[in-house]
Amino acid sequence: MIEMASAAASVSALKPRPIITCCAERLSDELENLKPLFPEHFAELALDQDKVPLDPQYSIYLERENRGEVLFVAMREAGKIVGYFVGFVAPGLHYQTCLTLTLDIFWVLPAYRGQGAGFQLFKFVEKEARNRGVQRMFVGSKLHKDASWMFDKLGYREVERYYSVWLGG
């Protein structure tokens, strides 16, 4: 009897994993729902925050989306956005025959990290990119909040490093 009660207690202690879905959507349709998430994303990841305010050029994103150059993927739980990917799709400037997806931003709410949500997001992005004819994809990770381990596990290879210096102004 004690064993059964103990087993029942452990089963009830297990939390069901949330059902997370990913879907390619129009950025223009979800922009107002994304805007409240950007300040937390900015606070966690942006460099030189004391000098450079968060001030996205939304009109440029929407113009590029209208030309078919934006891939926006929303990750949701019960309809609520819990992560996102925004990337630009275009032939490479040096390789015009190679359709390339270049990451602009991605973010997963902290409460959803460590559960495979980032992997799910990027696997979906890869599938959607292939469906759009993308041949190559570039992603990156901030060093102070490094996600390169995830890209390594997904089979990406490191190909370049960026450096930054504040020049004033």
**DSSP assignment of 98-119:** SEEEEEEEEEE-GGGTTTTHHH
Domain boundaries, the chain: 17-153
Helices within the chain (DSSP H only): 2-13, 27-34, 38-45, 58-66, 117-131, 148-153
Reported as a single tens digit per residue, the pLDDT across 87-119 is 999 998 999 999 999 999 999 999 999 989 999
Model confidence at 12: pLDDT above 70: no
- Counted residue by residue, the chain has a size of 169
Asked whether the CA dihedral 107, 73, 152, 117 is positive or negative, the reply is positive
Residues 6+ apart with CB under 8 A from 88: 64, 69, 70, 71, 101, 102, 104
What SS3 state is found at 120? helix
What SS3 state is found at 60? helix
Indicate the pTM of the whole model.
0.88
CATH of 17-153, one of 3.40.50.2300, 3.40.50.720, 3.40.630.30, 3.30.530.20: 3.40.630.30
In the structure, what pLDDT confidence band is assigned to residue 27 with cuts at 50, 70 and 90?
A: very high
pLDDT of residue 78: 93
